[in-house]
Structure 1
Amino acid sequence: MVTNPILSIRDLRIRFRTNDGMVEAVRGVDLDVGAGEFVAIVGESGSGKSQSVMAAMGLLAGNGEATGSIRYRGAELLGLKPAALNAYRGRKLAMIFQEPMTSLDPLFRIGAQIAAPLRKHQGLSRKAARARALELLELVRMPRPEARLSSYPHELSGGQRQRVMIAMALANDPDILIADEPTTALDVTIEAEILALIAELRQRLGMAVILITHDLGLVRQHAERVYVMKAGEVVESGTKRQIITAPTHPYTRMLLAAEPEGRKAPPPDDAPILLAARDLRVSYDLSRGFLRRETALLHAVDGVDLTLRRGQTIGIVGESGSGKSTLGKAVLKLVPSSGTVRFEDRALEPLDRAAMRPLRSSLQVVFQDPFGSLSPRLTVGEIVSEGLLVHAPQLTRAERDLRAAQALAEVSLEPALRNRYPHEFSGGQRQRIAIARAMILHPKLVVLDEPTSALDRTVQKSIVALLKDMQARHALSYLFISHDLAVVRAMADWIMVMKDGRVVESGPTEAIFEAPQADYTRRLIAASIKG
């Protein structure tokens, strides 16, 4: 029990109006946060942990309603009008969201976005706000902070964008920093840096931190007290030591035990080659100025060779900016590249967009950011079945709907949910929707770009098992891009380690994990060990 908490939540209940009726997301939650305390809220996707703090920030979706009490230093927040809430949001309570790319405005430079809350809440001049923005970027240890003030969000890596979000959250010296899955999209080394940064800033600035996460490894490292949520309720709470070493609830014990399992056997030596790339290169021109007198090329993929057999999974690992996602896009001809790519012994480089279209059903991709890749205006059923309009135009609307229901069932989502919209789902559920959309076309090759980054460990286990089962039944081949080495180890039979656009090491999965040859590989593996 916390004496004199600065944030106190009592009997919080949250419901959403949907096409299928009212859905109760949070059921009678009680929660306290003390001054300067580091509290973790842990639970699976859909447990209600994010919605609980969204209610405190007044950020529930338009179809949501909350009852109960949320008090900050004795002042009731629940039910306040937006204008009144703005006296607290950003000033007393600040939030870092799970997906920084969708939280940053792509049309404005970083400096302007950090300066905006400073000018609004503190009345700073443009010049003073820019100076403070630079101080904040230095505070979060952004590389080349002055240059980054003029950058757009798409010019930054995932870790750099998250540092910008932290800088914006700290702009007005909040009492409480809410970090909602702040590292799910980051590789292990950057994840460790970001969480160490948050912990350091908490100590330096004396603020409280609420960490919302599905990863109990992070709880072991940083939290002081823990709330465990399941199906909208707090099922257990206590100190970190109590929760980690002596959990009393079966659900907590299940979370602690959850870890992707098994090892994938390699395909037979005589398995046919499905995809082969040779000397693959992707470069970007970074020259600036009207006359572009100086040539500056970024080699995102620099001379990579790759051979993928039918039924094989190649895991591609590396830090943000290593080129692993760009490599996945290059083999699918989603970005301009040089070198050769052959799919089923057919050269892809001469094919234009129209010639590639018949092959797209065989070459599918699941992107890292499910919310950004799902149309907010379509129902989930329409999103999942959208590819059938192009690749199976003979199907009737009813047949497409049936296929969508089957695809959702395959990824462990209730088919009845297909009448809802993406914003009504948790991050993990949206990721499963994105997987269903790719699998509905029965592809031969799937590029999985961080497909489990937004999922809690228990759901990761089911998704890994699902992907393996589908691979075995349909002889699928995967390029599995991930920063989560535990998942890669369970999924892949071969691993490629990338750094600065090049492959620094590759080989069978167990050989890479048990006896890594490159210093960089050893550093990645060491950073993935938590607790």
Structure 2
Amino acid sequence: MDNHDNNTVLSVQDLKVNFETPDGEVNAVKGVSFDVKKGETLAIVGESGSGKSQTMMAIMGLLAKNGATTGSARYGETEMVGASLSTLNGVRGSRITMIFQEPMTSLDPLYTIGKQISEPLIYHRGLSKAKARERVLELLNLVGIPDPERRIDSYPHEMSGGQRQRVMIAMSLANEPDLLIADEPTTALDVTIQAQILELLADLQKRFGMAIVLITHDLGVVKHVADRVVVMRKGEIVEQGSRDDIFERPTADYTKMLLAAEPTGTKAPPLPDAPVVLEGREMTVDFDISTGIFFKSTRAFRAVDHVNVTLRRGQTIGIVGESGSGKSTLGRALLKLLDADGHIRFDRSEITNLDRSAMRPFRRKMQLVFQDPYGSLSPRQTVGEIITEGLYVHEPDLSKGERDIRAIAALKEVGLDPDARNRYPHEFSGGQRQRIAIARSMILKPEVVILDEPTSALDRSVQRQVIELLRDLQNAHGLSYVFISHDLSVIRAISDHVIVMKNGKIVEQGSTEQIFADPQEAYTRDLIAAAFTN
């Protein structure tokens, strides 16, 4: 690779990243080499732990204190590896910029977005506050923020996830960089917002002629936007080439596995006379929202608006919609974890007005699995303590030995080593943690499980494994699922009936085959188009 090629923005040679840990040295990146050309989009792909993000963090000098970098990463004539802080600051935020997956953690909640976007303009260009404000308004217009004159004085929490990501893009473009590094910039977004952000980045790339390094585990996105692809596994590059070469003529077995990891298969519907296990009628959920700072007032926000749901034994209902559509609120209302108007029946029992103690016998039969396997498991408990917790409530007479036997059986059923019960959650990968969360539900032998985005935080290959596990458990125990997701490829693979929600209402529902083959509503067609354009 020629470091002096005028067409090369960034040249990386034999880059290594090591971390010193209490358990010894961890080799996170093991000698990677690649170039980034002017105006191109280079995608770095691989599963969690492949080293793709650490590679770019090392180049930017943003590693944790226990990290060390060797090798070379040259931006023009500037060597980034081992550079002084003043040299790095002269490049970062000006010539090379970076945006991250979750803008809420990257934006300072105490400052307006206008102040945050103006900082790099004042620091790198020496603009006055007035001139910087003018430029911020231009940037907000450029990235499609509505009503920028008002929004410039908004705080991050007052904006949606898609708008916050647009703010991050505006901030990264403030000084018209040569290279933008985008680390999972759309993973946390709905499919329609994701499509808008990717289209925006492509438009801005053409306008400014900048290069983009896109770090992602979503090969659908890569196929849609990348010019070249670098595939990483366990800190090494296993393959790199043009987008067409990688997708149509992959040579590495690992690349072939990633390409085959899209969730597949179809779910047969239950028999028409299968009994109804859970039914919600005229479900309505209102939240009181406080407005004003000095003179507080409240107004009602309707999150779920007169929704009907009928779930049969052995059925999987997929609920889809963008953030704010009410799908997660509906799931919690069906489990009586939120106050709701309407009627709820479980099996043949009316449970609408039952209080907490009266609901207890039903709780073991109605379980919930959350999106985030990191946040839903207590770090202070062993896996065995976590998955047997419900037994203390619902089967208090079990002995310690009997609980242990049940824990071993539950772990085996979800494909984990029974010895895992003596370890802690931080010792496991995201996919393994989600299996632990599923085991925690299954140990109680439920009839209905509501799964709220259970695969969205996972790599595609791990998603596929979790979906296959859920199918196996459903077949073995006659389970009924309500599967909530904004990922339509997952919904298509696991559901036999689909409900499409928007603004708290059902806009369309039907069999999975009908919804995906012949959607009747424009909103459904837009969702499907955004998910499968690539």
Instruction: Confirm or deny: 8 A CA contact 2:411 2:418 kept in the other structure.
Output: no
Preserved CA contact (<8 Å) 1:189 1:524: yes
Deviates more, 1:13-22 or 1:460-469: 13-22
- Listed one character per residue, the Cα deviations across residues 27-69 of structure 1 (whole Å, up to 9, x for unaligned) are 2111211222211112223222122112223333444433322
Report the CA distance between 1:234 and its aligned residue: 0.9
1:235 shift after superposition: 1.3
* 5+ long unaligned stretches in structure 2: none
SS of 1:6's partner is strand
The whole-number CA distance in structure 2 between the counterparts of 1:185 and 1:107 is 22
Matched, 1:484 2:487: yes
| Counterpart pick for 2:303 among 297, 300, 303 | 300
Distance verdict in 2 for CA 1:82–1:525, change over 3 Å: same
Query: Take 2:356 and 2:125, find their aligned partners in 1: how far apart are those partners?
Result: 51
Shift of 1:170: 2.3
The answer to whether residue 159 in structure 2 is matched with residue 159 in structure 1 is no
From 183, 187, 199, give the equivalent of 1:184. Answer: 187
Matched, 1:410 2:414: yes
For residues 452 and 188 of structure 2, the distance between their equivalents in structure 1, rounded to whole angstroms, comes to 10
Identity value in percent = 55
Aligned residue for 1:311, secondary structure, equals coil
Which one is further off, 452-461 or 487-496?
452-461
Q: Structure 1 residue 148: deviation in Å?
A: 3.7
What is aligned with 2:74? 71
1:430 aligns with 2:430: yes
In the TM superposition, what is the alpha-carbon distance from 1:266 to its structure 2 partner? 1.9
Equivalent residues of 1:316, 1:498 under 8 A apart: yes
Structure 1 stretch displaced more, 399-408 or 434-443? 399-408
Say how many residue pairs are matched.
523
Q: SS of the residue aligned with 1:78? A: coil
- Aligned partner letter, 1:32: D
SS at match of 2:532: coil
Contact 2:425 2:433 in 1 (8 A): no
The letter of the residue matching 1:311 is G
Give the secondary structure class of the aligned counterpart of 1:29. strand
TM-score normalised to structure 2 length: 0.85
Give the 3-state SS of the residue equivalent to 1:241 in structure 2: helix
Q: State the 1:516 CA deviation.
A: 1.8
Aligned equivalent of 1:518, options 515, 518, 521: 521
User: Matches of 2:510 and 2:158 in 1, distance apart?
Assistant: 32
CA positional deviation for 1:236: 1.2
| Structure of higher CA gyration radius | 2
Distance 1:115 1:459 in 2: 40
Give the CA RMSD over aligned residues. 3.6
**CA drift at 1:12:** 2.0
* Rounded Cα–Cα distance in structure 2 between residues aligned with 1:60 and 1:420: 26
1:219 aligns with 2:222: yes
Q: Deviations over 1:89-111 (max 9, x none)?
A: 32232222223344344555544
> Shift of the alpha carbon at 1:112?
4.5
Residue 52 of structure 1: SS of its match in structure 2? helix
- Partners in 2 of 1:473 and 1:8 — Cα distance? 53
The match for 2:106 among 87, 103, 108 is: 103
Question: What amino acid is the match of 1:392?
Answer: Y
SS across alignment from 2:239: strand
The correspondence for 1:168, drawn from 167, 171, 174, is 171
The TM-score normalised by the length of structure 1 is 0.85
Give the partner amino acid of 1:436. I
Shift of 1:500: 2.0
CA distance in structure 1 between the aligned counterparts of 2:253 and 2:90, rounded to whole angstroms: 41
2:392 is the alignment partner of 1:392: yes
Q: Secondary structure at the match of 2:268?
A: coil
1:333-352 to 2 correspondence within 5 Å?
333-351=336-354
Q: Distance in 2 between matches of 1:230 and 1:49?
A: 9
Letter of the structure 1 residue corresponding to residue 414 of structure 2: E
1:258 alignment partner, SS class? coil
**Deviation of residue 171 (structure 1)?**
3.1
User: Counterpart in 1 of 2:504?
Assistant: 501
Which region of structure 1 is more displaced relative to structure 2, 488-497 or 237-246?
237-246
| C-alpha contact (below 8 Å) 1:14/1:26 kept by paired residues | yes
Q: Is the 8 A contact 2:435 2:466 kept in 1?
A: no
Alignment match of 2:33 (pick from 30, 35, 42):
30
Deviates more, 1:431-440 or 1:160-169: 431-440
| Deviation, structure 1 residue 224 | 1.3
**Runs of 5+ consecutive residues of structure 1 not aligned to the other structure:** none
Closer, same or farther in 2 for the Cα pair 1:112/1:461, shift >3 Å? same
Q: Is the 8 A contact 1:7 1:71 kept in 2?
A: yes
